[in-house]
Structure 1
């Protein structure tokens, strides 16, 4: 496991990334980053002596669709179930964090339009925020 620095100058703000070690300081990302921009599933990264990512060596072509739910508890559960079902139906790998944050892997060549059709109206009402990172 390695870490990505999220602090922008503040100490100890990091995201753990599950990886597969390729060489002593080169790793392939084996998870879906929730908060780390510019790093996606199967990207190859290098680390420093503190196990912090220093750079992306090779992009995998995968993208990450991120969703943050911003609704009350009852609505959050309904939206969670809706989004979970869409990801499962599409066969897209996905991970949830605390039932509020969703990361969906978009493999090379995948079309996210069916998800955007669901996400955009919910974003317009303030129910959630979403983005796609490459």
Structure 2
């Protein structure tokens, strides 16, 4: 049995209005063995599901990806594979600076840049967020905020897959 503390949930998924299904993602391949991410999805034809949230931890998954599912001992439906990747990737930003004011200000800057660029984002918790990242030039303004914060060691950033 999986402890609920080992499940990352999306409290406010960007595609909540389109989603009609919850599918689990095993995070072992994302360097988090024993952990799971609960993903909001939309049922498609042919046993496929469209991811309707911005994944926080799952490597290789992004908003809009079409995935297949399988049954697993832990959960009824688990992501099996990406059948049709959506354009772009997921950019994750995790603040490493422990000063609450620095984190708050940096997170506000990132959210404001994402909103100005029209990029969907979700906040997992204070200091940790994920942005659907289509790549340049749409992300130039976001990069102008993220790159200095990363260079100063205030945050770490990574993408779920190469662009």
Q: TM-score, normalised by structure 1?
A: 0.88
CA deviation map 1:33-79 (0-9, x unaligned): 01001111111101112311111111111321111111221211111
Among candidates 26, 39, 61, match of residue 17 of structure 1: 39
Number of corresponding residues: 133
Residue 103 (str. 1) matches residue 125 (str. 2):
no
The 1:121/1:20 distance shift into structure 2, 3 A limit, reads same
Deviation at 1:25, TM superposition (A): 3.3
CA RMSD across the alignment:
2.0
Instruction: Show the 5 A alignment for 1:1-134.
Output: 1-8=22-29, 10-11=33-34, 13-23=35-45, 25-49=47-71, 50-71=76-97, 72-107=99-134, 111-134=138-161
The separation in 2 between residues aligned to 1:124 and 1:102, in whole angstroms, is 18
| Structure 1 residues 24 and 113: CA distance shift in structure 2, 3 A | same
**In structure 2, how many angstroms separate the alpha carbons of the residues matched to 1:89 and 1:51?**
36
| Change in 2 beyond 3 A, CA 1:91/1:10 | closer
- 5+ unaligned residues in a row in structure 1: which ranges? none
Q: Say whether the 8 Å CA contact 2:117–2:138 is kept in structure 1.
A: no
